[in-house]
Amino acid sequence: MVLQKRLEFGFNGYQVPTTPRATRSARRRGTIQKRVEDNQLCAFDLLATVAGKLLLEKESSVAYSNASTEKDKCGFVKKEWEDANNPLKAQLSEEGSSGGRYVFDLASHAYDQNCNPKESPNPENDGHSGSASVLTTSSCSEKFVAEKMVNAKSNKEVGSFASKVGCSGYAEFSGCKLDDEINKLKDEQKMFGKVPFVRGTDRCSAEDPVNAKPPAVVSSDDSAKFSLYVDHIPHSASPCQDDLKVVSRDDDENSSGCTHPRTKTKSFRPVTRIGDRRIRKILASKYWKVAPKLKADRRSNTDGDLKPMYRNKRNSYKRLRSQMNIPFKKRKLFYGNSVSSSDGCIRSDGISCSSEKGINGDAPGSSAKIHGAAGKSSSVAGQQTAFHSRDSHVKLRIKSFRVPELFIEIPETATVGSLKRTVMEAVTAILGGGLRVGVVLQGKKVRDDSKTLLQTGISQDNQLDALGFTLEPSSLKSVPPICAVDSTDVLPCDVLQPLTRYLPDPTEVQQGISDALLDPQVTNLGNFIESDNDSAPSSTNSSVDKSTRDSKPLVPIPETAMEALAVVSEHRKSKRSEIAQRRIRRPFSVTEVEALVQAVEKLGTGRWRDVKLRSFDNAKHRTYVDLKDKWKTLVHTARISPQQRRGEPVPQELLDRVLTAHSYWSQQQTKQQVKQQPDTCLLL
DNA sequence: TTTAGGG
DNA sequence: CCCTAAA
């Protein structure tokens, strides 16, 4: 059987005010072709895109298209696809041998038209409304995967279908056009009520009010909405009363199967056609470039948990102190977000079935085996048979995935633009952090990837209603301890962990190099230029003006963590908000020391700003205060015995110069003072 | 914003 | 490195 899952990144009812948005009709008419490059739109667009609904639809003969949010070109990890544990992939291969087939729709991937221009007709020309153009930077990796998968199929039809689907316009990311076949299927698709945002597969379902809500039927036009909640942090909560805590998240109620989505949405804001909207803008925007630059910084605390966080810009080198008792500074923002679900995942809706009775321990294999699987109830078998007789294909459609809850703190003095960027970064972090897909059946996670759909009962008609998908941080597995962390701590989990696998985008590297080369002072020995190790994050600066410098890195926090925090008490939260990140320690290299010494020799002490400008202007992470401090330590180092020195040894020659320069300028300073003494006396 | 120093 | 009083 074929399972088709489509992820539709819709901009559900989301409209960006500042930029002309193509209306659905307009798009259809092709009148709106303006390429949106406004960065400010990106955050919202992406968010809206991600914050969609999950629609599962079952159909007789369809392909299974899987959408993923991962973007490898952006430096995001797309490991899931290649992970043997990947349910989708695993099942794919399995099905292939058993006659089942999966067609993956890479739509949601950042599909680059460059990958296959021919196969990706220009949306504006194809007459498909909302068809998106393409990202210029995305890679074709996804495609490879898709093709690979398709190739694995024994059925040609499926394969061809898959190919088509691959470029389907369903996913905005694909930037491709939806195939006619797909459209047909779409029309035929049966929409299932969305499943509410599920927090914990196991623990939260009961307590989650949302889950209690009866599933509603949503139409394809149904739109999820994205809302921003702005709350003032209690004055007593932290010294930074003027800081704002901004929480952006999907509205559960709205996003989950609202019966009158349009109405609601409209009330909320103008509705734009979601389904047809494409993400190309987002992808095209520089934000995608920025996104990869986010860097996860982890540090293990006394509890042994990891505290990842994102840093960007020179002012963003915040770190959690070992003790986590860092005072909260206004300019040091702390961003966090959580994923909803105990597993820190997002799940789709449409759950309504019984238990996973159909699941058994059968190893992946032939369909024959499946039928004969032990533990399968007769009723189930019967249904399956019937199902098979009709058609052995199961079509699942995931309209969209919900975006994890985002928790953001930003100064109220921050600009709207920075807020948008912040949100964007948060979303990017989530998406780029590495996501994996989880399957939830009747409220229970199906962890055994080797099971077939038949075995799990997913293929059953009634089961489809209970089938859900989740987006969860792939890092959870790799970093188990995090979630078990002492909740007293600030950032228990790391959703972004996967980012550690981030590989610099060649483009970025190139950029960095060119930047250096373009710098006229690079050739100046005295001008210390460092190819910032954090070039990725810091390069973000270029796209952000200093007024917005206050934007802080985002720290996604798995729902688990958030829940724990919530349970712990409000005080936790407030405490958390007070935490400031300490800049990462970056010992001065000998080269830097030399540059510093040289500059001080010439400029003297007390002119740190000039020193900075002169020799460290390109080292964004070195502030004049840092240089001053370093000089201080250098002087101290030079005075102590070599045995007492630590860290990378500084050439004695340099230390000697330090002492010399220090004494010289101290003398000069004294002379100046002496000189002024008389003046003072005269005045007196 | 910079300096200058203590932490 | 951080924090800040002072300038």
Task: Show which positions of strand C are touched by protein (CB under 7 A).
Answer: 1-4
Q: Say what the pTM is.
A: 0.35
3-state secondary structure of A281: helix
Reported as a pLDDT band with limits 50, 70 and 90, residue A585 is confident
Write out the two tokens for A670: 């004294």
State residue A634's pLDDT score. Answer: 94
pLDDT tens figures, A445-504: 777 777 777 777 776 655 555 667 666 655 433 322 222 222 222 222 222 222 222 222
Q: Is the pLDDT of residue A660 over 50?
A: yes
Q: Is the pLDDT of residue A654 over 70?
A: yes
pLDDT tens figures, A502-557: 222 222 222 222 233 223 232 233 333 333 333 333 333 333 333 633 333 333 43
Closest nucleotide to A319: CA versus each C1': C1
User: What is the spatial distance between Cα A354 and Cα A465, in angstroms, rounded to a whole number?
Assistant: 9
Q: Which of residues 523-562 of A touch strand B (CB under 7 A)?
A: 546
Task: Show which positions of strand B are touched by protein (CB under 7 A).
Answer: 1-7
Write out the two tokens for A389: 């007789």
Write out the two tokens for A604: 């003297």
Phi–psi pair at A496, nearest 5 degrees:
-90, 0
Q: Is the pLDDT of residue A621 over 60?
A: yes
> Which one is predicted more confidently, A451 or A309?
A451
Kindly report the number of other CB atoms within 10 A of residue A96's CB atom: 18
Kindly report the number of other CB atoms within 10 A of residue A246's CB atom: 20
**CA–C1' A417–C7 (A):** 33
- Decide: CB of A609 under 7 A of nucleic strand B: yes
**CA–C1' A311–B3 (A):** 27
**CA–C1' A548–B3 (A):** 25
Give me the residues paired with residue A673 across strands: none
Closest nucleotide to A610: CA versus each C1': B2
User: What is the spatial distance between Cα A388 and Cα A460, in angstroms, rounded to a whole number?
Assistant: 10
Reported as a pLDDT band with limits 50, 70 and 90, residue A625 is very high
- Mean pLDDT, residues A144-168 taken together: 29
> Which one is predicted more confidently, A495 or A442?
A442
State residue A581's pLDDT score. Answer: 74
State residue A432's pLDDT score. Answer: 60
3-state secondary structure of A300: strand
**CA–C1' A425–C2 (A):** 26
State residue A616's pLDDT score. Answer: 92
Percent of chain A with pLDDT over 90: 8
Closest nucleotide to A586: CA versus each C1': C1
Most confident of the ranges A158-167, A285-294, A522-531: A522-531
- What are the residue ranges of helices labelled H in A433-534? 453-456, 461-464, 475-478, 480-483, 506-518
Contacts of A312 (CB under 8 A, 6+ apart): A293, A294, A295, A425, A537, A538, A540, A541, A551, A553
**CA–C1' A444–B4 (A):** 62
Q: Is the pLDDT of residue A170 over 80?
A: no
State residue A601's pLDDT score. Answer: 92
- What are the residue ranges of helices labelled H in A178-300? 180-188, 204-207, 209-212, 252-255, 261-268, 280-284, 286-293
**CA–C1' A635–B5 (A):** 14
Most confident of the ranges A32-36, A371-375, A416-420, A532-536: A416-420
Write out the two tokens for A561: 């963590």
**CA–C1' A625–C4 (A):** 12
Among candidate residues A538, A540, A680, A541, the one with its CA nearest the CA of residue A621:
A538
State residue A391's pLDDT score. Answer: 54
Reported as a pLDDT band with limits 50, 70 and 90, residue A414 is confident
- Decide: CB of A629 under 7 A of nucleic strand B: yes
State residue A441's pLDDT score. Answer: 73
Write out the two tokens for A650: 């500084």
State residue A613's pLDDT score. Answer: 92
- What are the residue ranges of helices labelled H in A373-443? 378-390, 416-432
Footprint of strand C on the protein (CB under 7 A): A 317-319, 326-327, 329, 332, 580, 582-588, 621, 625-626, 629, 632-633
Among candidate residues A17, A5, A172, A199, the one with its CA nearest the CA of residue A104:
A5
Closest nucleotide to A581: CA versus each C1': C2
Phi–psi pair at A675, nearest 5 degrees:
-60, -40
Q: Is the pLDDT of residue A644 over 50?
A: yes
Contacts of A494 (CB under 8 A, 6+ apart): A296, A298, A306, A307, A308, A473, A475, A479, A482, A556, A558
**CA–C1' A69–C6 (A):** 52
- Mean pLDDT, residues A202-217 taken together: 29
Q: To which H or E segment does residue A445 belong?
A: strand A444-446
- What single letter denotes the amino acid at residue A55? L
> Which one is predicted more confidently, A557 or A354?
A557
Write out the two tokens for A165: 């689907």
Q: Is the pLDDT of residue A637 over 70?
A: yes
Closest nucleotide to A549: CA versus each C1': B1
Count, residues in chain A: 684
Say which DSSP state A244 is in: E
Reported as a pLDDT band with limits 50, 70 and 90, residue A636 is very high
Residues A444 and A342: beta-carbon distance below 8 Å: no
Half-sphere exposure of A462 (CA within 13 A, CB side): 13
pLDDT tens figures, A127-140: 222 222 222 222 22
Contacts of A395 (CB under 8 A, 6+ apart): A2, A3, A4, A57, A58, A59, A60, A61, A62, A63, A64, A185, A189
Among candidate residues A307, A407, A335, the one with its CA nearest the CA of residue A553:
A335
- Decide: CB of A413 under 7 A of nucleic strand B: no
State residue A187's pLDDT score. Answer: 35
Closest nucleotide to A624: CA versus each C1': B2
Write out the two tokens for A338: 């959580």
Residue nearest to nucleotide B6 (CA to C1'): A629
Give me the residues paired with residue A406 across strands: A248, A337
State residue A22's pLDDT score. Answer: 28
- Decide: CB of A331 under 7 A of nucleic strand B: no
Q: Contacts for A41-44 with beta carbons within 8 Å, 24 or more apart?
A: A41/A16, A41/A281, A41/A282, A41/A285, A41/A420, A42/A281, A42/A282, A42/A285, A42/A287, A42/A420, A42/A424, A43/A287, A43/A420, A43/A421, A43/A422, A43/A423, A43/A424, A43/A425, A43/A427, A44/A14, A44/A16, A44/A226, A44/A420, A44/A423
Most confident of the ranges A378-382, A551-555, A585-589: A585-589
Contacts of A521 (CB under 8 A, 6+ apart): A527, A529, A617, A618
Residue nearest to nucleotide B2 (CA to C1'): A609
Contacts of A79 (CB under 8 A, 6+ apart): A434, A474, A498, A501
Residue nearest to nucleotide C2 (CA to C1'): A582
User: What is the spatial distance between Cα A492 and Cα A557, in angstroms, rounded to a whole number?
Assistant: 7
Reported as a pLDDT band with limits 50, 70 and 90, residue A652 is very high
Mean pLDDT of chain A: 43
> Which one is predicted more confidently, A20 or A677?
A677
- Mean pLDDT, residues A60-75 taken together: 29
- Decide: CB of A607 under 7 A of nucleic strand B: yes
